[in-house]
Amino acid sequence: MSGSFSQQQSVVVVIGSGAGGGVLANALAQRDIDVVCLEAGRRLDMSEIVNDEAAMFGKFTWLDPRESSGQTIPGFPAWTCKTVGGTTLHWTASCPRMQAHEFKARSTYGAIDDTTLEDWPLAFDDIAPYYSAAEQLMGVTGTHGIERLPGNNNYKVLEAGARKVGYRQIDTNNVAINPTPRDGRGACLQTGFCTSGCVVQAKWSTLYTEIPRAEQTGHFELRPECMVTRIAHDDSGRANEVHYIDAGGTPRTQKASAVCVAGNAIETARLLLNSSSDRFPTGLANSSDQVGRNYMRHMIAGVVGRMPGEVNIHRGAHQAGIIKDERGYNPDRGFVGGILMLTVPFAPEIFAKFLQPNGWGPEYADILAHYNHLAAMLIHGEDLPQASNRITLHQQKVDGYGLPIPVVHYEEHPNTAKLREYALSRGRSVYEALGAKDVYDMVNVFPATHNMGTARMGSDRKTSVCNRWGQTHDVDNLFVSDGSLFTSAGCENPTLTIVALALRQADHIAGRVGRGEL
C-alpha cells in the first residue's frame, strides 16, 4: 500500500510523475528509499480515458499560460502534459535509441557558428546497459525477444514508397506497446488513439506501471494536483524544502533530503528560475547562467500524400513505422544531424487546420473529403543547441498559482533550415513514388512535444547545469531528471533516453543514500 509521509520528514522529493520522475521515484522506492512525488496534474481514472482526441486534450494537457516568442506557436509553444504520468499519457511510445555518435555531437560535427554544441559527459557505452534495462522495463518491441508490431496501412504505404526510392532500413519501429499481453497489460488492439491515452494499457505509461508499483512498496507517496512553487535551501546551500500549493489551494512545505526535478524542460527550468535566493540570485543552480538556455525541440514536420487508393490512416498504432536510412551523420547532404521519418495519423480536424494553415474553399474541402486516401509521416530532425533559445520568466504575467509564467523563445538555426528542406524533399519522394495525386507539407504548425536541453549535462560547470549523473553542479542534493538534461538533441524521440538516464540516476542516488551522503 501507498506510503504516507509527514511534511516534517526529510524524504527524497521527486517533482513530476512522467517518464523521468515516475521511473526514478519507483526505482528508488523499490530500494526502500522514501519518496514523495509531487505532481501538478490530476490522477485520471482509467474510465476517463476515451477514444476522443478533443476530450483527452482537455483532460491531460498543460494549459496554464505560456508566452511564445520567436518561431513558436502563438500562445501554445509546447504540448506538454499536466497529469499523473505526464507525457507518457500522450506519447506515441516510439523508442529508438540515440546513436553513439550523437553523444559526441561536438567532436563529430565540429565547430558550428551560433551554436553551443558540446559532447555529452557520458558515452553511448555508459548508457547502453540502461537502454537495455529501460527497454525491458517498458516492453519495447524489437528488443529482448519482444516481437515487433504488425504494420498498419499507413506503414505499408510508407514502406512501399521508401523501398521504391531506395531506402532499406524500414520497419515497424521499436515501440513500448505490447504486441501480446505482457507485464499485466493488454495487447495492442490497433485502436488508433495512442496519443489520447491507451485504453487497453498496451502502451507503457507510468500512470499504470511505475506509479502503482511504487505505491505497493510502502516507500512512495504520490501527491497529485500539487504545484511546486519553489525549492528552498539551507545555509550550507543544500536543498532542504519544497514549497507547493496542494489540491485545495493551501500552501505546504515538504522537508527534503534530496530533490529531483522532472517537470519537462520548460517547467523544470521555470521552477529553478523561480527558486532564486540570496545565494542564487539568478535562479537555483544557475551560477552558469545556463538554466533555461540551449532549449531544443527537434525539427518536426509532416508530409502528407493524397494517395490513389484508400489508406484509412486512423487505423492502428501511430508511430509503428520508421525509415532510418537518413539518421546517420552525412555532411554531404549539406547539414549536420540525423533524420527519422515515422508514420503518423491525424484526425480530420488536424488536417483541416494545418494541411494548408489558411486553406478553405471547394478544392481544400475536396482534399478533406478524401481523408481516407491520405497517408502521412512525421519527420524528426536534430536541431542544435543555441544559447539564445531559452526559457525565461515573464516580467509581469503570473499564472493561477501566482507564479511568473514562462516565456519560450526559439529561433531556427540555418543548419536546421537546410535539414528541413532536404527532409521534406525526401519525404515527398516516398509518396510521389507511389503515384500520390498531391503531396502537402505541414511545417511550423506543431507545438513542440520534444523539449530538451534547458538544464543540460556537461563536464564544464561554466557551460552546463548538471554533471553526468544529472546532479546540479551548484547544489549537491539537487538533481534534474528529465529531458532538460540533454546536451544535444539527437534525432530520436527522447523518452527512451529520459527513462535510461532516470534509471542510471537512480543507481547513483541509491548509492549515495547507502553511503549516507543523502
Partner 1 sequence: MKADGVASIPAARRTKLEPEQRREFLKLLGFAAAGSAAVLSHPLSLSASEADDWNLAGVDAQQGLMLASIARLLFPHPELNDSVYVQVVRDIDADMGQRPDLAKLLQNTAATLEQQVGGDWLAASVPEQVQALKSIEGGEAFFYLRNRTIESLYRNPLVWQLVGYEGSSIEYGGYINRGFDDIDWLDS
**Burial degree of 74 (CB within 10 A; 0-12, 13-18, 19+):** exposed
Q: How far is the CB of 221 from partner 1 (least distance, A)?
A: 21
198 versus 518: smaller Cβ distance to partner 1: 198
In the complex, least distance from residue 353 CB atom to partner 1, rounded to whole angstroms: 6
In this complex, which beta carbon is closest to partner 1, that of residue 73 or of residue 368? 368
Q: Which residues pair with 19 in a beta bridge?
A: none
23 vs 311, which CB is nearer to partner 1?
311
String of DSSP letters for 374-412: EEEEEEEE-----TTSEEEEEEEEE-TTSPEEEEEEE--
DSSP 8-class letter at 474: S
Interface positions with partner 1 (CB under 8 A): 46, 50-52, 54, 150-153, 156-157, 160, 181, 184-193, 199-201, 208, 308-312, 314-316, 347-349, 352-353, 358, 360-362, 364-365, 368-372, 434
To partner 1, the closest distance from the beta carbon of 201 in angstroms equals 6
Residue with smaller CB distance to partner 1, 365 or 417: 365
The smaller minimum CB distance to partner 1, of residues 186 and 404, is found at 186
Which CB sits closer to partner 1, 226 or 434?
434
Min dist. Cβ of residue 515 to partner 1 (A): 36
Cell 482534399, residue located: 367
Closest separation in Å from C-beta 144 to partner 1:
20
Q: Please say which residue, 166 or 361, places its beta carbon nearer to partner 1.
A: 361
| 76-91 b/e (C-beta count within 10 Å ≥ 16 → b) | bbbbbbbbbbbbbbbb
Q: In angstroms, what is the minimal distance from the CB of 447 to partner 1?
A: 15
Element (H, E) at 431: helix 414-432
The answer to whether 174 and 492 are in contact (CB under 8 A) is no
**Min separation Cβ 96 and partner 1, Å:** 22
Helix 495-514 crosses helix 19-29 at what angle (to 10 degrees)?
Answer: 30
Contacts of 238 (CB under 8 A, 6+ apart): 475, 476, 477
Residue 33 or 56 having the CB closest to partner 1 = 56
Residue found by looking up cell 487508393 in the block: 309
In which residue are the cell numbers 506519447 written?
91
d(CA 338, CA 6): 48
- Nearer of residues 284 and 344 to partner 1, judged by Cβ: 344
186 vs 218, beta carbon nearer partner 1: 186
Nearest distance from C-beta of residue 416 to partner 1, angstroms: 27
Amino acid present at 303: V
**Distance, CA of 166 to CA of 132 (rounded, Å):** 31
DSSP summary character for residue 305? E
d(CA 268, CA 253): 18
| Residue number with CB closer to partner 1 (414 or 435) | 435
CB 82 within 8 A of CB 183: no
Compute the chain's Rg from CA coordinates: 22
DSSP H or E run through 227: strand 227-233
Which CB atom, from 310 or from 517, has the smaller least distance to partner 1? 310
Count the Cβ atoms, other than its own, within 10 Å of residue 443: 17
Least distance to partner 1 from the beta carbon of 314, Å? Answer: 6
* Contact call for residues 154 and 343 (beta carbons, < 8 A): yes
Task: Give DSSP secondary structure letters for 120-165.
Answer: -SS-HHHHHHHHHHHHHHHT-TTSTTPPPPPP-HHHHHHHHHHHHT
Least gap, CB of 487 to partner 1 (angstroms): 37
Compare residues 370 and 418 and give the one whose CB is closer to partner 1: 370
Least distance in angstroms from the C-beta of 94 to partner 1: 18
In whole angstroms, the minimum distance from the beta carbon of 90 to partner 1 comes to 17
Distance CA 302, CA 423 (A): 10
Q: Could you tell me the smallest distance in angstroms from the CB atom of residue 153 to partner 1?
A: 4
> Per residue, what are the HEC states of 67-109?
EEEECCCCCCCECCECECCHHHCCCCCECCCCCHHHHHHHHHH
Helix-then-strand count for the chain, H and E: 11, 16
Cβ–Cβ under 8 Å, residues 300 and 446? yes
Determine the Cα–Cα distance for residues 474 and 478; give it in Å rounded to an integer: 8
| Cα separation, 497 vs 483, whole angstroms | 8
